[in-house]
Structure 1
Amino acid sequence: MLKKTLLLIDGSNFIFRAYHAVPPLTTSDGRPTNAIRGFLSMLRVLMKDVPTEYVACVVDPKGKTFRSDIYPEYKANRPPMPEELAVQIPVIFEGVKKEGIPFLQVPGIEADDTIGTLAKRATAEGFTVVIATGDKDYAQLVNEDVILINTMGKDNTWMNTEGVIQKFGVPPDRIIDYLALMGDKIDNVPGVPKCGEKTAVKWINEYGSMDGVIENADKIKGKIGENLRNSLEFLPTARALVTIKTDADLSEEVPTFETLRLREPNREELMDYYNKLEFRTWARELKKSSAAGEVKSLDSASSASKRAVVGAAPIEGETLDLFASESQAAPERKLTIIQDETQAKELAQHLEKLAGQEEISMYVISEGEGQQSLQPLGAAFGRENGESWYVPIEDDILMSDAIAPEVFGDIFKNVLNNPKLGKAGYDIKQTRHVFANVGLTLEGMQDDVMLQSYVLEAHRSHAIEKLAMNWLQYELADEESLLGKGAKKKSFRDVGTEKTAEFASQRAYVIARLNRLFNKALSDDKKLESIYRDIELPISLVLFKMEQNGVLIDSMLLNKQTAELQAQLKELEEKAYEAAGETFKLSSPKQLGEILFDKMGVMIADSKPKKTASGNYSTSEEVLSELAADYPLAKIALEYRTLSKLMTTYTEKLPHMVDKKDGRIHTTFEQAVAVTGRLSSTNPNLQNIPIRTEEGRKVREAFIAAPGCKLISADYSQIELRIMAHLSEDPGLVDAFRHNADIHTATAAEVFGKARDQVTPNDRRIAKVINFGLIYGMSAFGLAKNLGIDRQDAKNYITKYFARYPGVRDYMDRIKALADRQGYVETALGRRLWLPDMRAGGMRRAAAERAAINAPMQGSAADLIKLSMIAVQKWIEDKKLKSKLILQIHDELIMEVPEDEVALVTENLPKIMDSVVTLHVPLIAEVGSGDNWEAAH
């Protein structure tokens, strides 16, 4: 006779995990629902994995329990529950009950004690017990009849006795000792200080139990032994606190296990519940199943939705519905490794026949020092049906099971270059570089799952391993686990073709599945689909061409600048020694702090500054800036750091980054990093070259035009202020820009009540700080500090500003309220900018509110410059010009232009940039040219 199964759900654990796993999600009237949706989705996964008629969802009661009597400080350090979660909890409880799942919240008895008691009773009555939790404390309950399941692990981890030993290093009957020795920071249970997992396991395995450890405490040497001996008195209490009770009185709540039998939900109540929470897909499923004469509750979740509920993206207020539309289980992956040219030709012909019918996926394995030297080692192709192929590529003729790059190019030419054969990839810009380095081009790159993820959820990780887990619940091994790291890191050649093929084909398989899901999500939101199709995909190709173009560098000039900076740094060191009265290492924050605060007795706000966690005084830029006006040494240190960073980051480093083949630097433009949509650059980072200092401007002189060419720079004028005028529709701001007035003078005239011709330079300076400060959410305190004025004066300036520009104040209030209600804001073109901290507290909330104001402006500016780059590149190609886009820095485009095309480009470039979109105010791009980047300004 088969045993019955009792499923016990650690509801308290699930609630917090659901809340933190699912990004902000709200109803149309602003009620948060992310924890509700995540929790019920997790139950769907669970009920599919553990089919049973007996189940209980158990949560902690309100108030204290017996553990608080044992130790009053128990759980004392726990922060208060976020308000946006607290309001969802009663609704979660309501949903559990409406779904027909027995629900338990026993006064005075924690959830783990309720579960422990039920587990012991159930096994005594012949049940197998499955406990669903992510809490390690429950491992103490595991035995031959009790197992754990973790639905939020990498692969729905099931843990029996052997699993506990494998995971923790001790058997279930020693978990209590293990926990007591380590203590529990979350529940504020002190253990032995500095005793971690390894130490606890070592002691228990050596001495048999915690009692054995206590008996042998004198034998344990060093500081950890001293910590143990100092903890002996409390350890029995710690053991009592981490021990799950198995004899709680539940006679009223669960007189028999029939009380815990799964019930059929009331379809009308459930439908009303779904509709109120705007869970539309679940409501449609319920309606459809009701019409068929059955009630479709949590235990009937599809296998596809099971895979990807937790951590799914918030889209249009209801993203998790994406997975409910998947009616079939994921296809099984079938891998074929191509071993010769004949098989390769057969594969190419097979893939070519799919042109116009199906989009294939592709993932390329490559190795090399930088993107200009990446070489392909293999290519994996995949289909939605799970079929995948791996083609080894190797230029070594001794590699008998690989195909040379030129042979690969000949065989797969029509696969790679056919625009009608749609291809999906991951980071297709890099894939283009890999193939370009061996003379191959790519056409028909229809989708990039990294960019799809970026458009849907800019604030989350876009690593393919994370995407596979978050969206598909599919575990991808990362490169480090295959190749290792550091000095012992292997190459793909070292691990062999079979392992490399498995690595690549898994990614092709995941790309195909993600692409299907992401395209569905994007098609449901036309604005996001436009951001992806009209901006992110085409700009990826433009950036690839810019990275291939590179920028010419004058290394000799940079070497000369390095020598000059070294001389300046030497002078500053001598000045610092004179100011300090002794020699010391100026580059050492520790030594600088000791000189300033111990020897010189410098005070901040009438007191000596506190030391950091490292035991040293803080000499951060903020601290030194505060002291610089009164203490020469602080000012010297600031200048020293600025010049030193300039030298080590640019003048010394850039000459070593020049590609020897063409004398150019080929930076990488990171497209899927900044949450606002802005581009950044790496290897090297050219976005942070200072432009306000003479030394920084000199560095830009080393970026030069090729012989017979000029550099042309085009920069949007006051783009973020113009976008503020557009978004706020404030009549005063809009009018000033439409009449091409100096906006800072116009603002000064409004704030100070003067005619524009009476505005003084200082008035304009204050207005400029206000203009730019307010779009970054600057407070009166920040304005006062920036201007060096009294806070009340700063407050008066802001009051006058909003009195003259009331539309700006209205916009700021509206956008913060909107961000609070829906968890995101949008750019002028509809790019979604998520603000997870809008429902946090304190400083995080304040920072999110500032971001809510500024992000639409930064993001809109990012969209505009990307559209400009796309339009400029198209114009270059349409006109068949030799001019090249080479750099994008913030709101500026830099082109390398042959001298006979300079007049044409200078005339047309601003026209193209000014007309990419129509705003309430005109866009103005200012253009300059010169022999180097600095001269082009």
Structure 2
Amino acid sequence: MAFGKGCHLHLIDGSAFIFRAYHALPPLTRKSDGLPIGAVAGFCNMLQKYVEEAGGDDAPTHAAVIFDYSGKSFRNDIYDKYKANRPPAPEDLVPQFPLTRDATKAFNVACHEVEGYEADDIIATLAVQARALGGRVTIISSDKDLMQLVGGGVEMLDAMKNRRIDRDGVIEKFGVPPERVVDVQALAGDSVDNVPGAPGIGIKTAALLINEFGDLDALLSRAEEIKQPKRRETLIDKADQILMSRELVQLKEDTPLDFTIDDLEVHDPDPEVLLPFLAEMEFRTLSKRIADKMGVDAPIIEDTPVATGDDAPAPEFPPIEPEKYERVRDMEALNRWIALIEKRGYVAIDTETTSLNEMLAELVGISLAVIPGEACYIPLTHKSGASDDLFGSDELAEGQLPLQQVLDALKPILASDAVLKIGQNMKYDAKIFANYGVEVSTIDDTMLMSYAMFSGIHNHGMDALSERYLGHEPIPIKSLLGTGKSAITFDRVPIDEAVKYAAEDADITLRLWHLFKPRLHRERVTTVYETLERPLVPVLAEMERNGIQVDRDTLSRMSNAFAQKMAALEAELHEMAGHEFNVQSPAQVGQILFDEMSLEGGKKTKTGQWSTPADVLEDLATLHDFPARILDYRQLQKLKSTYTDALQTHIDPDTGRVHTSYVQTGANTGRLASTDPNLQNIPVRTEEGRRIREAFVAPEGKTLISLDYSQIELRILAHVAGIETMKQAFRDGLDIHAMTASEMFNVPLDEMTPEVRRRAKAINFGVIYGISGFGLARNLRIPRGEAQAFIDEYFKRYPGIRAYMDDTVAYAKEHGHVSTLFGRKIHTPEIGAKGPQAGFAKRAAINAPIQGTAADVIRRAMIRMPDAIKGQPAKMLLQVHDELLFEVDEDAADQLIDIAREVMESAAAPAVHLDIPLIVDAGKGANWAEAH
């Protein structure tokens, strides 16, 4: 049939289908050979759904799936950095790309790609041709870049949302009609495709400008009329860049095609072609369903068993023999290793240093392994004095290559995308190399692989992993360095001993990688590792190296102020007790509480003394003021010792900044932990705790920006538990705590008191953590009965929460884990426990999907942030739970807020669509307290 009036062309964005299929389904491998096929399975299901539903009045007469050609396009000739920031496709997705083309042909749907052009250009060319011939066009995609084509018989269909995008839909999205979309995109740029645009101008501002001036050319020719100085300056100075950006976003409507629209005529699938392909992929369910619809017999697919989980066959490794590892003494030997690495395409690498603090550590040696059982150590700065030499010489030991010469030789490999660098806690090694000006890119991390697979089951240190999965106990570091005051640094370890220890680390890491890499697919966590764990490593490394400036004088003043408050509290406590006592002595505090005041609930230690832990005091604080004041004293004591005193010792002498280290594997739920110093646990509920943040300051000419997700866990709870009243309240921008208080306590919103709202807030957040009547009573310092009544009423008002809790616990008991909305598994081995442990395990299982999803959201935002703020005079410094902290030039603060807020609020998409918006609160100031 010749295409013309009355015909309908469907153009399917193949890449969008592939990536949606990949992210929507857990990893899947073909049983016979372990080939990743999850994306192919999802793609076939989407094609089958499309073929089945493409009927009726809207049925296409012509259709094609259009793919991107792998490789660079003509746009890279215009701008060599076009799409330069895009990460490589996940490793398990790469072999599936050609299979999706095969799948399309098997369904008897035309599929095309053109070298040097993108899928969008082919779609644009076909749409324009079809429109000129008088036919209709439906572009099946949600890609905003294609919206410039809408109109005149061309529409878009977001198949996932079943939403059609017409001219009005484009105006809703961009604020301008389709014919002006290119102008808006040229101004706003695109961080994903690395289209520079006009710095500081986003979609909304761009639309305002285009609507005011008519089009981009008019805007640039009259830029001097713009009243805002910075905006005017940008449009004048960056005119060439903006025009180049227009070239990049303008779709090519004359792409050279070796086929015509007539070649795209729709045909029914041929069962003799389609079913053998599905059988080859081993898609049993899909092939049976399609065969039934076609009225033919389903193909017989042999059920080839494959081991999964712990039953998977382990690779055959040679024994670990440290005596056989090589000491690299000269460049000839090192060059042999480099040649082997280049041939293999991967290397396990480990560094030995003088300190665990990456900012202060000096490189002592590097170990490499490419084949299990074969590893080497390159000593670099070992000292000639032996470890037991009292007057150990600082002269370098003989037989070592010059440090810079080795770094220069390894630098191309470490920076190469063609060589995979494998490490255990690779962030540490990458920062060490960065200290010497050497970039490490394209990494795998066995610690993070373990975390993605086994969170909640065991820890992820190399020694533990080696013993558990390799049955080998590594050489302990203490046997080389010693312990306590007599411990030495690694540069004092004799080189022959260092070779065994260091090369063994690289060998073990390589073996773990061979075990873990294929197992990610079987455990269905490849997406978690590839999108949430591995890409976060360089982001955290940069943040840690950035550090944050801390004012020592402010800390000193606070320390003195805390000491004075503690002295005043001590006097108050002495007066309450009727005599002096040691406030810091738990035994003496217990004696006053339980012997002198006769309060109930005390427990004695094995030595017969009263125990006064925080939970006991929190219970008693609901009944008496004395234990409440003891808690206040201990809080001040902790703030003083842990922060105002200790933080001063963490200020780096060279940078004047504090450089915390983030631990990705520190919490089962995906939340980051922070160490040396721990900046995650600075209290924010007390005035004193909030004041600590005053010591974190911006340098002169800079300001600190805080962006904080507003009640993200409550929003996720409303989503997963399906609580419509809460979801609507969030959509309407209501004060959720005031709304809850009004619902529970029957208090009109206009009569709400701070105290009533505070109680509702405590219940809202407490329920997320499975809080008990005891816990809520402690938090509010009210009687337990009253607190339990609040909780009971809460569940009556929001029955969906109770249902979510019960369903989650039941799922955990059946499957041994719970999952976040992004597929992160949190194992729950204690869920079947008895006694007090059972309650803890249930609460952890209930909270994990909520807290874990929130953690995943902010990880996604952090991963996207470097590209988004590139070119801005800004650095991302800290992540504290739901908050990101930035340092930026004062005059660029508002611009940064706009950019970062957009990244954070859209971080869940496209992997997860939340029923409620994510809202980010922003602040700025000379110090963290002001910004927050």
The TM-score bracket by the shorter chain reads 0.5 to 0.7
Match of 1:716 among 709, 712, 716: 709
1:875 aligns with 2:868: yes
Match of 1:538 among 535, 539, 547: 535
Displacement of 1:522 in angstroms is 0.8
Displacement of 1:366 in angstroms is 1.2
Provide closer, same or farther for how the CA distance between residues 914 and 683 of structure 1 changes in structure 2, counting only shifts above 3 A: same
Match of 1:908 among 888, 899, 903: 899
Query: In structure 2, how many angstroms separate the alpha carbons of the residues matched to 1:490 and 1:795?
Result: 56
Displacement of 1:399 in angstroms is 2.8
Give the match for residue 297 of structure 2.
Answer: none
Provide closer, same or farther for how the CA distance between residues 404 and 610 of structure 1 changes in structure 2, counting only shifts above 3 A: same
1:349 aligns with 2:316: no
Displacement of 1:698 in angstroms is 1.8
Give the match for residue 687 of structure 2.
Answer: 694
Query: In structure 2, how many angstroms separate the alpha carbons of the residues matched to 1:582 and 1:780?
Result: 34
Give the match for residue 804 of structure 2.
Answer: 811
**What is the TM-score with the length of structure 1 in the denominator?**
0.62
Q: Is contact 1:542-1:873 (8 Å) kept?
A: yes
Give the match for residue 392 of structure 1.
Answer: 379
Q: Is contact 2:621-2:778 (8 Å) kept?
A: no
The residue type equivalent to 2:591 in the other structure is E
* CA distances 1:141-172 after superposition (whole Å, capped 9, x unpaired): xxxxxxxxxxxxxxxxxxxxxxxxxxxxxxxx
Give the match for residue 173 of structure 2.
Answer: none
Provide closer, same or farther for how the CA distance between residues 564 and 799 of structure 1 changes in structure 2, counting only shifts above 3 A: closer
SS of match in other structure, 1:442 = coil
* CA distances 1:58-78 after superposition (whole Å, capped 9, x unpaired): xxxxxxxxxxxxxxxxxxxxx
SS of match in other structure, 1:390 = strand
Query: In structure 2, how many angstroms separate the alpha carbons of the residues matched to 1:432 and 1:719?
Result: 32
Unaligned runs of 5+ in 2: 1-301, 384-394
SS of match in other structure, 1:687 = coil
Give the match for residue 330 of structure 2.
Answer: 340
* CA distances 1:667-687 after superposition (whole Å, capped 9, x unpaired): 111111111111111111111
Q: Is contact 1:366-1:376 (8 Å) kept?
A: yes
Give the match for residue 932 of structure 1.
Answer: 927
SS of match in other structure, 1:379 = strand
Give the match for residue 888 of structure 2.
Answer: 897
SS of match in other structure, 2:831 = helix
Q: Is contact 2:662-2:672 (8 Å) kept?
A: yes
Give the match for residue 599 of structure 2.
Answer: 604
Q: Is contact 1:784-1:791 (8 Å) kept?
A: yes
Give the match for residue 564 of structure 1.
Answer: 561
Query: In structure 2, how many angstroms separate the alpha carbons of the residues matched to 1:834 and 1:414?
Result: 40
Moved more, 536-545 or 797-806: 797-806
Query: In structure 2, how many angstroms separate the alpha carbons of the residues matched to 1:424 and 1:923?
Result: 36
Displacement of 1:325 in angstroms is 5.6
Q: Is contact 1:624-1:634 (8 Å) kept?
A: yes
Q: Is contact 2:773-2:788 (8 Å) kept?
A: yes
Q: How many residue pairs are counted as aligned between the two chains?
A: 614
Match of 2:743 among 735, 750, 756: 750
Query: In structure 2, how many angstroms separate the alpha carbons of the residues matched to 1:900 and 1:430?
Result: 34
Give the match for residue 826 of structure 1.
Answer: 819
* CA distances 1:28-79 after superposition (whole Å, capped 9, x unpaired): xxxxxxxxxxxxxxxxxxxxxxxxxxxxxxxxxxxxxxxxxxxxxxxxxxxx
Query: In structure 2, how many angstroms separate the alpha carbons of the residues matched to 1:369 and 1:463?
Result: 15
Query: In structure 1, how many angstroms separate the alpha carbons of the residues matched to 2:459 and 2:899?
Result: 39
Query: In structure 2, how many angstroms separate the alpha carbons of the residues matched to 1:795 and 1:369?
Result: 47
Provide closer, same or farther for how the CA distance between residues 689 and 932 of structure 1 changes in structure 2, counting only shifts above 3 A: same
Match of 1:547 among 544, 547, 553: 544
Displacement of 1:505 in angstroms is 1.3
Displacement of 1:476 in angstroms is 0.9
* CA distances 1:639-695 after superposition (whole Å, capped 9, x unpaired): 221111111111111122111111000011111111111111111111111222222
Provide closer, same or farther for how the CA distance between residues 392 and 802 of structure 1 changes in structure 2, counting only shifts above 3 A: same
Provide closer, same or farther for how the CA distance between residues 317 and 856 of structure 1 changes in structure 2, counting only shifts above 3 A: farther
* Cα RMSD for the two superposed structures: 2.6
* CA distances 1:3-22 after superposition (whole Å, capped 9, x unpaired): xxxxxxxxxxxxxxxxxxxx
Displacement of 1:385 in angstroms is 4.4
1:523 aligns with 2:521: yes
1:513 aligns with 2:511: yes
SS of match in other structure, 1:836 = coil
SS of match in other structure, 1:838 = coil
Query: In structure 1, how many angstroms separate the alpha carbons of the residues matched to 2:592 and 2:664?
Result: 44
The residue type equivalent to 1:514 in the other structure is L
Moved more, 627-636 or 613-622: 627-636
Query: In structure 2, how many angstroms separate the alpha carbons of the residues matched to 1:786 and 1:592?
Result: 21
The residue type equivalent to 2:363 in the other structure is P
Give the share of equivalent positions with the same residue, in percent: 38
Displacement of 1:888 in angstroms is 0.7
Q: Is contact 1:746-1:756 (8 Å) kept?
A: yes
Provide closer, same or farther for how the CA distance between residues 800 and 889 of structure 1 changes in structure 2, counting only shifts above 3 A: same
The residue type equivalent to 2:881 in the other structure is H
Provide closer, same or farther for how the CA distance between residues 816 and 699 of structure 1 changes in structure 2, counting only shifts above 3 A: same
Query: In structure 2, how many angstroms separate the alpha carbons of the residues matched to 1:881 and 1:813?
Result: 47
Q: Is contact 1:375-1:435 (8 Å) kept?
A: no
Query: In structure 2, how many angstroms separate the alpha carbons of the residues matched to 1:436 and 1:381?
Result: 18
Provide closer, same or farther for how the CA distance between residues 523 and 628 of structure 1 changes in structure 2, counting only shifts above 3 A: closer
* CA distances 1:436-491 after superposition (whole Å, capped 9, x unpaired): 2233221222x100111111112211111110111111221221133221123233
* CA distances 1:103-149 after superposition (whole Å, capped 9, x unpaired): xxxxxxxxxxxxxxxxxxxxxxxxxxxxxxxxxxxxxxxxxxxxxxx
Query: In structure 2, how many angstroms separate the alpha carbons of the residues matched to 1:922 and 1:930?
Result: 26
Provide closer, same or farther for how the CA distance between residues 787 and 582 of structure 1 changes in structure 2, counting only shifts above 3 A: closer
SS of match in other structure, 2:684 = coil
SS of match in other structure, 1:412 = helix
Query: In structure 1, how many angstroms separate the alpha carbons of the residues matched to 2:632 and 2:779?
Result: 19
Query: In structure 2, how many angstroms separate the alpha carbons of the residues matched to 1:553 and 1:627?
Result: 38
Displacement of 1:780 in angstroms is 4.0
Query: In structure 2, how many angstroms separate the alpha carbons of the residues matched to 1:523 and 1:551?
Result: 39
Unaligned runs of 5+ in 1: 1-285, 290-315
Give the match for residue 215 of structure 2.
Answer: none
* CA distances 1:609-637 after superposition (whole Å, capped 9, x unpaired): 34212321112223333444665543432
Q: Is contact 2:315-2:514 (8 Å) kept?
A: no
1:586 aligns with 2:583: yes
SS of match in other structure, 1:884 = strand
Provide closer, same or farther for how the CA distance between residues 685 and 741 of structure 1 changes in structure 2, counting only shifts above 3 A: same
Query: In structure 1, how many angstroms separate the alpha carbons of the residues matched to 2:623 and 2:808?
Result: 41
**What is the TM-score with the length of structure 2 in the denominator?**
0.63
Displacement of 1:502 in angstroms is 1.0
* CA distances 1:356-400 after superposition (whole Å, capped 9, x unpaired): xx3211111111262201112111111134321211111877433
SS of match in other structure, 1:887 = strand
The residue type equivalent to 1:646 in the other structure is L
* CA distances 1:579-600 after superposition (whole Å, capped 9, x unpaired): 33433322122233334444xx
Q: Which runs of 4+ in 1 moved over 6 A?
A: 286-289, 327-333
Query: In structure 2, how many angstroms separate the alpha carbons of the residues matched to 1:373 and 1:773?
Result: 41
Give the match for residue 163 of structure 1.
Answer: none
Query: In structure 2, how many angstroms separate the alpha carbons of the residues matched to 1:461 and 1:440?
Result: 30
* CA distances 1:712-763 after superposition (whole Å, capped 9, x unpaired): 0000000100110121122222222222222122223333456544555454
Q: Is contact 2:619-2:778 (8 Å) kept?
A: no
The residue type equivalent to 1:359 in the other structure is Y
SS of match in other structure, 1:825 = strand
The residue type equivalent to 1:868 in the other structure is A
Q: Is contact 2:481-2:487 (8 Å) kept?
A: yes
